[in-house]
Structure 1
Amino acid sequence: MQTQPSIQFSKRLLYNLLDKRPPISELKKIHAQIIISSQKSLTDSLIHCYLRTNNVNVARILFNNYPFPSPPTLVWNLVIRAYSKLQGDAYKVFDEMPEVDVFSWTSLLGAYVNGGEMGVASKFFEEMPVKNDVSWAVMISGCVGCGRYAEALRYFGELGKNEHNVKTNEAIVVCALSACAHLGALDRGSWIHGYIDKNGISETSNIRTALIDMYAKCGRIDCAYRVFDRISKPDVHNYTSMISGLSIHGLGEDAIRVFNQMLVDKIKPNEVTILGVLNGCSHSGMVQQGLLIFYNMENSWGIVPKIEHYGCFVDLLGRARYLAKAFGVVKSMSIDPDVVVWRALLSACRVHRNTYLGERIVNHIGQLDSQSQRGAEILLSNLYASLGKWDSVSIVRHEMSKQKNQSDIGCSWIEVNGSIHEFRVADHLHPQIIEIREKLSEILKGAGLVGYAANINHVSFDLSDEEKEQAVAWHSEKLAIAFAFISTAPKTSIRVVKNLRTCEDCHSALKAISKVYNRQIIVRDRSRFHTFRDGKCSCNDYW
């Protein structure tokens, strides 16, 4: 019997096959041919291909058995980068390198950032002998990803001094604008916009999307719309950013109008677009429009509702007092509801003082996994507290203590003279806290002249009325506003960002303060904007 001769592949052919970045099934066949034909010079390309298919172990075997004295620096960097994404042995590989370059340093920096070791990453970044635009992008994006927004802006400011001879790239600009958006740092964000124009940085779609988002989240929806209006052919990301911005400002009708224009322009919406539109309907009480979009999103645009869409839809129904219908939607969901969905429903029960349904919901949650239960107890506790049912509050909080659940601490940020100041509820840490509290007491007395009285219904502990008034007086946004009174000229607009939903007492207080002191106060809470002017709020008390 005659044996079939083996087919020999030329080096050029094998190289071309590897250059196409084949899937793992084909890559193994090519690897076999390289072994048969002894094409050792293709080891670099082979390592690269295995790393691209996330087969790090095979790549490391090839790397450790490199057929020549030492792999080139490029291959070392590829291995470090792969390990940095997997939080593996990037540090060990780096230490073994005979020669390192800026790509080596940046790859290891990425390993620290991806591992969440931002303290180590920051120190390592300062020690890097050379940095390029990618190094700066990795550091700044890492800060943003870990919620260290002020630190991200500090690095961007350092880069902007032009002492490093590094050209700012798109990724750096987008991350810096994102940090401004999170902090509500309008002055800094406007400066970055000017920096873009001054330095001739091309306004790509990503940068325009980030600018729209920044201006919207910093309370200047007019500036966001000007950026959007200058785009000749907006893409899905531009449209989505504009729609989401209008929605958080409670401009549901405008959000629907922009959404309809998007459809006229034959731009297909994505999951985030639909979420933005639903959010706009929710904050504007546009129930019918929200119903149409939610129930048609899969048939019309091929978008299957995700947990975020259900959460927004439940919020829409709950705000509009359709509590039983909202509960029915949650129970019939095709996916397991998360804490955000339950929070939306229970918050509606608290706002509309429906204890019966609130108890039913918590009993239902009790039959689910612990992840779904997380956060429900504190909402029920607040509901009982608002009705003065202190025995029930005590029982719920006793159960909470067993589970060791912690609620979010109220925190607010305000930008004054280019610096970001943070305040927590009942803050003791700010260096001017005594002066701030004195000013706050003075402001609240003034607010009382137009009928403001502390709303103590939602204080979650059985305290005396005087103690309850003190508790609500020291909420973080009130402290931030008192600091603004101390630090800015009279009649200057005040902008505050808060991590939680604005409570009813703060909402009433800020309306009164805006009237007595002739100040425009703009607050962005967890879900939307509130613009207080002349004793009224842009939300029309629908939030």
Structure 2
Amino acid sequence: MVSLPQKFSTTSPSILIRRQCFKPQEPKTPDQPFIPFSQLQERKLLESELISVLHNCTELSQIKQVHSHIIRKGLDQCCFVLTKLLRMLTKIEAPMDPYPRLIFDQVIRIGGLDLDLFVGNTMIDMYVKCGCLDCGRKVFDEMPDRDVISWTSLIVAYAKGGDMENALGLFDALPMKDMVAWTAMITGYAQNSRPMEALEFFEKMQNAGIETDEVTLAGAISASAQLGAAKYANWVRDVAEKSGFGPADNVVVGSALIDMYSKCGSLEDAYKVFERMREQNVFSYSSMIVGFAMHGFASEALKLFEEMLKTEVKPNKVTFVGVLTACSHTGLVEQGRHLFQIMGKCYGVEPSADHYACMVDLLGRAGCLEEALELIRTMPMVPHGGVWGALLGASRIHGNPDVAEIAANHLFELEPNGIGNYILLSNIYASAGRWEDVLRVRKLMRGKGLKKNPACSLVEGKEGVIHEFYAGDMTHPKTGEIKRALKDLLERLKFDGYQPNLSSAPYDVSDEDKKQILMAHSEKLALAYGLLCTDAGCTIRIVKNLRICEDCHLVMCGASKITSRQIVIRDNMRFHHFRDGTCSCGNFW
């Protein structure tokens, strides 16, 4: 309970709130009696005491109590006191209750137009924080005057909610667009997996001559990382350098650039950024370790981890996610077990659900499915989707539909609309020839109204232009040339011993139909285009939204050998570097 001055009584707040709701006092007029100076002084002291008490409130009931004294002492006509009351309501995030709106309406009624801006922004902020965006928009629409804070608060809120159309509408209507507003749009598009639009906004911002800061760059860097295109990555880095946020001087931007280059498949550039940084901290080390891990360079990740331990920089949770992932992607089971056991004892980093997910992935990939399942059962916290997802993925690798069912049933509860889980279970059943179970899962998907995301692959052509291919889609302007190039490539691969992996087409159709399905996979179309439209010897970089299938992996290995090209593919799990007929994953993914 908040400690109130002794001279305050504890009249029931509910009664006094009703007084305010149904019998509001009228604004004071110039005809009212003159208040002597001594009374004004006493009133100021009372205001100060009330505000001091408000600052110590932590619950709504402590505030519907202080407000009762405000009314009793005649201060319910004081905008200064009431706006302080609103601010405290914002801090405890209580706007779902109608009470704050009553306070807001009273302030507007007695305060005049000059106070609308401040109070309105307070109310918008309050509603946005509790997720009541419609109420915040209503306040915004009612305000006679707005500033950039009013607009930007709503833009950020719409962006966080994934409603970029409303965010864009507000941004376009904003009279004076400052750095914060531009950054809100760039970050919003990046956070909603719309990287091209984020980078388009970033370019418009540069053309408009708007200053760039670390937050703006973080959004643009994130978008470049999602897109996976070297051209955009280099451009964003150049802007960072010109804006005075080069990786050598700014450890935050430097760490983000390491992550960006790693996700763009340019591990060499990522390491160059790391080496150039004058200051190293846990974020830069962790970014580089995670970069090595996602590319399958476990020895490099573990070596850098050992170098980090020799410095004053202490590992954190992300660092251990990186080293455990490195062990998982290369089958270093014993080393992974050791790191998992000592991370809390030796480094004070207690394993989280993410670390357990790494261990389940490590054990599962190595074929230790029962041990992985037992580890989940002994977790000190509730397993999240990543933990069960790791077990489901391992069950696919080793063709174990029984363990897959256990993992999938938990995922269906945790992620009822996660269509990827249904598809993966269906594919596991198909590989085992359990077609009735395949039909059952597909019926379950239809009943929930779930639709499979189409497989999509991006490839960077000449001059950094991004080309997009969907599975079975033949609408590209060069479709004829692409089909001929792909057919020629597959014929050459057959002479080298290639045979299609028909299990990668999990459909109950003829073998010939399966071959046609496999030939139209999006990464194969992207590869054929890359071979057609890039110079000989150039690395072909492909980004896929789903996991690469076994047949496409086999084709990429063969293609890297007979074309003498390096092929880098980033799927939704990791990176694969194909060179001279082999992959960096060692066929362990």
Q: Normalised by the size of structure 1, how large is the TM-score?
A: 0.88
- d(CA) in 2 for partners of 1:51, 1:170: 28
How far did 1:337 drift?
4.0
Pair 1:287 & 2:329 matched: no
Q: Is the 8 A contact 1:211 1:227 kept in 2?
A: yes
Query: Match of 2:101?
Result: 60
The reply to whether residue 197 of structure 1 matches residue 238 of structure 2 is no
In structure 2, distance between residues paired with 1:452 and 1:104: 62
SS at 2:443 equivalent: helix
Cα contact 1:318–1:344 (8 A) shared by 2: yes
Partner Cα distance (1:94, 1:349) in 2: 52
Partner of 1:123 in structure 2? Answer: 169
Asked if 2 retains the 8 angstrom alpha-carbon contact of 1:385 and 1:458, the reply is no
Which amino acid in 2 is paired with 1:24?
T
* 2:118 alignment partner, one of 74, 77, 86: 74
Give the direction of change, closer, same or farther, for the CA distance of 1:134–1:23 in structure 2 (3 Å limit): farther
Q: Quick one: which of 24, 34, 42 aligns to 2:58? A: 24
- Residue 212 (structure 2) pairs with residue 177 (structure 1): no
Report the Cα distance in structure 2 between the residues aligned to 1:537 and 1:403, rounded to whole angstroms: 34
Give the corresponding residue for 1:10: 45
State the match for 1:41 in structure 2: 80
Q: 1:42-68: per-residue Cα shift (whole Å, max 9, x none)?
A: 433443333233233554333211132
Shift of 1:313: 0.9
Please give the alpha-carbon distance, in whole angstroms, between the structure 2 residues aligned to 1:25 and 1:9: 25
2:507 is equivalent to residue 456 of structure 1? no
Q: Equivalents in 2 of 1:223, 1:126: separation in Å?
A: 37
Greater shift after overlay, 321-330 or 149-158?
A: 321-330
CA drift of 1:302 comes to 4.1
- Say if 1:371 and 1:108 are closer, same or farther in 2 by CA, change over 3 A: closer
1: distance between equivalents of 2:544 and 2:69?
Answer: 61
Q: Which amino acid aligns with 1:461?
A: Y
Report the Cα distance in structure 2 between the residues aligned to 1:42 and 1:399, rounded to whole angstroms.
Answer: 60
**1:512 partnered with 2:558:** yes
Within 5 Å, give how 1:94-109 maps onto structure 2.
Answer: 94-109=140-155
Q: CA deviation at 1:192?
A: 0.9
Mapping 1:293-332, distance limit 5 Å: 293-332=339-378
* 1:317-369 Cα shifts (integer Å, max 9, x gaps): 1222223322322343344445543443343343334x4xx325426765896
Deviations along 1:380-424, one digit per CA (max 9) or x if unpaired, are: 44334435x2xx123332343134355543222223333333222
The range that moved more, 195-204 or 99-108, is 195-204
- Pairing partner for 2:548 from 502, 508, 524: 502
Q: Output the CA distance in 2 between the equivalents of 1:377 and 1:69.
A: 58
Partner of 2:465: 419
Aligned residue among 187, 205, 223 for 1:141:
187
Q: Distance in 1 between matches of 2:57 and 2:210?
A: 37
Asked if the contact 2:51–2:81 (Cα under 8 Å) also holds between the matched residues in 1, the reply is: no
For the pair shown, the structure with the greater C-alpha radius of gyration is: 2
The amino acid that maps onto 2:128 is S
Deviation, structure 1 residue 107: 2.3
> Helix, strand or coil for the counterpart of 1:497?
strand
> Partner amino acid for 1:55?
A
Where does structure 2 lack aligned partners over 5 or more consecutive residues?
9-41
Listed as ranges, the gaps of 5+ residues in structure 1 are none
Paired amino acid for 2:219? C
Q: Deviations over 1:112-151 (max 9, x none)?
A: 3233221222233223222111101111111112111111
Q: Does 1:359 align with 2:402?
A: yes
Residue pair 1:343, 1:379 contacting (<8 A) in 2 also: no
Q: CA deviation at 1:282?
A: 0.4
Map 1:353-432 to 2 at 5 A.
353=399, 355=400, 358-362=401-405, 370-371=413-414, 378-386=423-431, 389=433, 392-404=434-446, 406-416=451-461, 417-432=463-478
Contact 1:83 1:111 in 2 (8 A): no
Alpha-carbon RMSD across the aligned residues, in angstroms, is: 3.0
Q: How many residues align?
A: 532
Greater shift in the superposed pair: 212-221 or 30-39: 30-39
The one-letter amino acid paired with 2:402 is: E
Deviations 1:460-502 (A, max 9, x none): 1122222111111111111111222233222221111112222
Tell me how far apart the structure 2 counterparts of residues 59 and 442 of structure 1 sit (CA, whole Å). Answer: 70
Greater mean deviation of Cα atoms: 33-42 or 201-210: 33-42
Cα gap change, 1:267 to 1:33, in 2 (>3 Å): farther
Equivalent positions of 1:217-296 (< 5 A) are 217-296=263-342
- 3-state DSSP class of the match of 1:88? helix
Structure 2: distance between partners of 1:301 and 1:168 = 37
- Higher-RCO chain (CA-CA 8 Å, sequence separation at least 6): 1
1:485 and 2:519 equivalent? Answer: no
Q: Could you tell me whether the CA contact under 8 Å between 2:395 and 2:404 is conserved in 1? A: no
Q: After alignment, is 214-223 or 326-335 more displaced?
A: 326-335
Q: Give, as a single letter, the amino acid of the residue that structure 2 aligns with 1:60.
A: R
Deviation at 1:31, TM superposition (A): 5.7
CA contact (8 A) 1:77 1:103 kept: yes
Specify whether residues 526 and 366 from structure 1 end up closer, same or farther in structure 2 by C-alpha distance, changes over 3 A only.
Answer: closer
CA–CA distance in structure 2, aligned partners of residues 272 and 172 of structure 1: 23
